[in-house]
Structure 1
Amino acid sequence: MTKPSEELLPLDLRQPLPRADAAPQVPDGWEPMARLAADVLARLGPLVDRITDCILEEIPTYRSGLVPRRDLHGSVLRNIEATLGGLAEHRPPRPDELAVRSELGTRRALQGMPVDALIQAYHVGYRELWLALVDAVPADQPGTATQLLTTATLVWQWVHEVTDALADAHASTVRSIEARAVGARQRFVELLVGGDLDGEEVPRLAGSLGFDPAGTFVVSVLRVGGDDLDAVELQHAVDGLPGRHAVVARGAQLVCVSQGSDPSGVRAAVRGIFPGAALALGSPRAGLRGARASLTDAELTLTVTEDGTTSTFEDAWLWATLTGAAERLDPLLTDGVDAAARHPHLAEAVRAFADAGFSVSQAGRELSLHANTVAYRLDRWAELTGWDPRTFAGLSRSLAALRLGRP
């Protein structure tokens, strides 16, 4: 396999540039420590191998394959070289050395490595470097051992400045990545709602977010009381679930587009952050047009979902669909809506009759009324509305009026 050219490699995987003052600038009296650093530098290969092995063994994230071993080994090598050079010259990191570490912080963020694992790896490296320095102290040179002890403060200065540079670059990159992802998710949902699904932008955005444009989508919509619409918090929660998810704020709602995930996981994530939210789930549907249809399912279902509860389009499809057509149905249902407003006890009898499986006696038991009283109220309802609740047509129209006519 052809090796990449030096210019294409990250800074800490390239050969260091030659310096005009390549020989260490050792302060007077610091020669024992400079010789100790040179001794460790002469045996750098085994030390770097050991540090690399320790990082892979002690930090599970590094065993996930996010960072190739060659990449990790090269970064360890450059960092230990720079640190030994600084110790030999009794100085903190130079700006150019911190720039190399900053670039590494950016690269690790792009590779998906958490910052805590990155900093832990540096602590492992400095721990092993210190042990190597201690082991290299000649037994017949107690003065070198004493000088090494005074170096501890300088070593910790290197740890502090290097990890600060790493963490700052990592955080800046993560913020930039998150900002781009938020924009992509927002644009993707906007195009699902009203964009041209046959164009190139929607499939491209779907692919950039990890979705298969031809795969099956399930869309969830939740209504949260107040202004607590934290799409980022919910996004982080669902990122830990299987599959792919995109959460955006849309008006007074949060929309979560999911693929390849059990909807129960999304439910649990929502309830963990928004226990009082109304949550509605659309039906699983294939393709980008299916994603748009699932979003419509969820939005319609949300209109008949009470706060703190969860509804699915499969269960609530009738009322969700009728609610979406409420304006067209109003003239057909006015008599029932008016009768229910004037005589709520009659409306209560109609609901109980439907819930009791069309049994007058069972409805009476539910309402603590005699069956004859329930029968009378059903008759009275039919007189006022012209809809006999004992027939399918009359009962379905009555229930639609009661459901859609509720404030």
Structure 2
Amino acid sequence: MNDGPAVDAAANDGDAGTADRLPEDRDVEAEADAHLPLDLRPSASRPSRPVNVPPGWEPIAELAAIVERHLDALVERITDCIHDEIPTYRTGLVPREDLRHSVRRNLEGILFGLAEHRPPHPEEVAVRRELGSRRALQGMPVDALIQAYHVGYRELWLALVDAVPGDEPQTATQLLTTATLVWQWVHEVADALAESHASTVRSLEARAVGARQRFVELLVGGDLDGEEVPRLAGSLGFDPAGEFTVMVLRVGGDDLDAVELQHTVDRLAGRHAVVARGTQVVCVSQGGEERALTTAARNVFAAAAVALGSRRPGLRGARASLTDAELTLAVTDDGDTSTFEDAWLWATLTGADERLRPLLADGADAAGRHPHLAEAVRAFADAGFSVSQAGRRLGLHANTVAYRLDRWAELTGWDPRSFPGLTRSLAALRLAGS
């Protein structure tokens, strides 16, 4: 459906009182209308030209005129039907008045085209292209947009059928021949809508990808003092002063479908920015639930190592959470999920091997030469510092476990039954890869 002069402009309530307005008033209104989107402007200069009705087509032109005389009621009915039948239109993405104006413009266009027995003109299709782009900017899914058009055409057809005089069966028969023409309007308009909607969505996504990439790169680089980072954060829907959580995945190979993860987390609560960086994928989030976030990541990248930083306030907090996640990722195996909250000790020690090696060398050497002793120390820690429970885990007598713990203490000088000794022992085991 498209814009165009009305079939019976003098009878259209939308133009009532036009003749009574002063010329300067009409000039002001015309100037204001020029700033509106095409599909929200009144149909151009009605009546700018007479309807060109082909010979023998007068009964159909008269049906179109009858429907237009009651256009206000039909517009309201179609608007109500769209709201009732399509849930997306009840979310407020498209204001009701916006929808009402668009429906009116569509009806006027097809009624004019029907009266002239013709498909839509290119300029009429161009108006629908602009609407498709505008609905994309409003966040309206294309399937809901196309469904709304089908609702409008359905109700218009019913109105045309109701307008057929009961004593003119030949008019009803002639109306049936217009079905192909009406379908041509539906087809051309729907194609224009879908094409322009998709083009706008692609453009928006390309800009969003660039903004997300730049935002994450600035976080990685720690360049947070300028105006660019808060501006980018705001453009992505983040509150620069709010709390951020950063998740980093090690995906490996070519499996870097960050776009799929972005679409997945977009369905979650909060705001999210997903970026691929080499063999990693970074997701900066705000306002979401952390378990839902890691679950979404696992659903997209089943074999990835997933690491989650702590929730921290502000852009500097986002940078710190990113560091949390990167350090945690270094101590997370493929297929596992870790959080900085749980792995903070080993994550913090990541990268400090050379600095800590002199402190932990005795334990690392003992673990390499006596792996059964290292196994007993680890089992003792995992069993909640219970010798008997550690024995059950290892299938050994408790006395055997106790002997091995004592032997470890003799070799290293660290008593694993004490907190300092156990902590140092476990750090040495991790350094040794035991």
Per the alignment, residue 429 of structure 2 pairs with 402
CA distance in 2, matches of 1:195, 1:267: 25
Q: CA deviation at 1:21?
A: 7.4
Q: Which amino acid aligns with 2:120?
A: P
Q: CA deviation at 1:212?
A: 1.0
* Aligned residue runs from structure 1 range 210-289, under 5 A: 210-289=237-316
1:305 paired with 2:332, answer: yes
Structure 2 residue matching 1:17: 3-state secondary structure: coil
Moved more, 356-365 or 196-205: 356-365
1:341 corresponds, among 326, 351, 368, to 368
Per the alignment, residue 148 of structure 1 pairs with 175
Q: CA deviation at 1:113?
A: 0.7
Structure 2 residue matching 1:5: 3-state secondary structure: helix
Runs of 4+ deviating beyond 6 Å: none
Q: Which consecutive unaligned segments of at least 5 residues does structure 2 have? A: 1-27
Per the alignment, residue 137 of structure 1 pairs with 164
Moved more, 33-42 or 333-342: 333-342
Q: CA deviation at 1:51?
A: 1.1
1:101 corresponds, among 128, 135, 139, to 128
1:363 corresponds, among 387, 390, 400, to 390
Q: Is the 8 A contact 1:323 1:404 kept in 2?
A: no
Moved more, 187-196 or 336-345: 336-345
Per the alignment, residue 16 of structure 1 pairs with 43
Moved more, 228-237 or 357-366: 357-366
CA distance in 1, matches of 2:136, 2:330: 41
* Aligned residue runs from structure 1 range 12-161, under 5 A: 12-18=39-45, 22-161=49-188
Give CA-to-partner distance per residue, 1:338-361, whole Å, 9 cap, x none. 332332212111212222343434
Q: Which consecutive unaligned segments of at least 5 residues does structure 1 have? A: none
CA distance in 1, matches of 2:59, 2:67: 13
CA distance in 1, matches of 2:147, 2:120: 19
CA distance in 1, matches of 2:144, 2:81: 13
Moved more, 99-108 or 355-364: 355-364
Q: Is the 8 A contact 2:252 2:280 kept in 1?
A: no
Identity %: 78
Q: Which amino acid aligns with 2:372?
A: H
2:346 corresponds, among 319, 324, 337, to 319
TM-score (norm 1): 0.94
Q: Is the 8 A contact 2:75 2:100 kept in 1?
A: yes
Q: Is the 8 A contact 1:361 1:371 kept in 2?
A: yes
Q: CA RMSD in A?
A: 2.0
CA distance in 2, matches of 1:132, 1:363: 82
Structure 1 residue matching 2:273: 3-state secondary structure: strand
Per the alignment, residue 187 of structure 1 pairs with 214
Give CA-to-partner distance per residue, 1:52-108, whole Å, 9 cap, x none. 121122212112111112211111111111111111111111100000000000110
TM-score (norm 2): 0.88
Structure 1 residue matching 2:350: 3-state secondary structure: helix
Q: Is the 8 A contact 2:238 2:271 kept in 1?
A: yes
Q: CA deviation at 1:386?
A: 4.1
Moved more, 373-382 or 165-174: 373-382
CA distance in 2, matches of 1:48, 1:354: 73
CA distance in 2, matches of 1:226, 1:244: 28
1:197 paired with 2:224, answer: yes
CA distance in 2, matches of 1:355, 1:121: 61
CA distance in 1, matches of 2:99, 2:391: 75
Moved more, 303-312 or 249-258: 303-312
Q: Is the 8 A contact 2:222 2:319 kept in 1?
A: no
Q: CA deviation at 1:225?
A: 4.4
- Label 1:45 to 1:353 Cα distance change in 2 as closer, same or farther (>3 A): closer
